[in-house]
Amino acid sequence: MIEVKDIEKSFDGVKVLKGVSATFETGKVNLIIGQSGSGKTVLMKSLVGLVRPEHGEILYDRRDLMTMGREQLRHLRTEIGMLFQGSALFDSETVLGNVEFPIMMYTGMSLAERRERARFCLERVGLKGADDKYPSEISGGMQKRVAIARAIALNPKYLFCDEPNSGLDPKTSILIDELLYDITHEYGITTVINTHDMNSVLGIGENIVFINKGHREWVGNKELIYTTTNEALTDFVFANDLFQKVRSYVLEHAHK
């Protein structure tokens, strides 16, 4: 479990996180949602140590990132998997090479062990047989799967995904969501996903943290979101006509 307590972060004197507290649960898909500019990315960057808040605590299973020494930080990094926007694969490396990379960086495994682990991860994300391809030779959805295989290569306790559906068609997005959901549950990972995608919110949102103008405005799950009376949240989630209709349908049937 990751807990953040009263996080504050400013840029050039402007506060963008205004005392955010939230819990990201173990073995669950935790979503951070909110409008553009609300502070989601700054929150996620704070969680992984890329941004340093001026105030607050970031507790990884009770270990505070804010007060960790260099060794503790290095150890924590081996427990974290990251999936960046746009996959961020190394173009000059094969699919297998990309997945092997963190294993080579952070473990003392032999080449044969590394290969075995990387192949296992590729098979887990449904990419058996793609080892020798280069990122430019595979589709965006496949690239995302490679990035997921790389993110789980070190068997992480915590997995962070920044907009994992960006650039994908709706069907591929759902498949990627399902894969992230399955992996989270299979390995008991604390997964934190930063997303705008309403299909993801209503599909895999087991624990949803809604950030509005730098505040944590609402916490709940995909079921509770239908009945929320929080205006900022309904404006954000049900802005789209189709989702508004889905909401009306769900509410109507819930009362029968």
**Site for ligand ATP (CB under 6 A): how many residues?**
10
Q: Using the rule CB under 6 A, is 11 a contact of ligand ATP?
A: yes
Tokens of 226: 């239908």
Site of tokens 């404006």: 235
The angle formed by the CA atoms of residues 178, 180 and 182, to the nearest 5 degrees, is: 65
Nearest to 200 by CA among 226, 181, 227, 224: 181
DSSP state of 202: H
Tokens of 205: 């949102």
Nearer to ligand ATP, 151 or 211 (CB): 211
What is the per-residue binding string for ligand ATP in 16-45, x denoting contact by CB under 6 A? x-----------------x-xxxxxxx---
C-beta of 44: minimal distance to ligand ATP in Å?
8
Nearer to ligand ATP, 38 or 94 (CB): 38
C-beta of 35: minimal distance to ligand ATP in Å?
7
C-beta of 187: minimal distance to ligand ATP in Å?
27
- Gap between the Cα atoms of 129 and 150, Å rounded: 16
Tokens of 101: 């990379």
Nearer to ligand ATP, 12 or 71 (CB): 12
C-beta of 96: minimal distance to ligand ATP in Å?
32
Nearer to ligand ATP, 41 or 207 (CB): 41
C-beta of 10: minimal distance to ligand ATP in Å?
9
Q: Say which residues have a Cβ less than 8 Å from residue 100's Cβ, sequence separation at least 6.
A: 114, 115, 118, 153
Residues 59-88 interacting with ligand ATP (rule: CB under 6 A): none
Nearer to ligand ATP, 143 or 195 (CB): 195
Nearer to ligand ATP, 16 or 125 (CB): 16
Nearest to 185 by CA among 210, 159, 208: 159
C-beta of 152: minimal distance to ligand ATP in Å?
24
- Gap between the Cα atoms of 92 and 98, Å rounded: 9
- Gap between the Cα atoms of 204 and 165, Å rounded: 13
Tell me which residues touch ligand ATP (CB under 6 A).
Answer: 11, 16, 34, 36-42
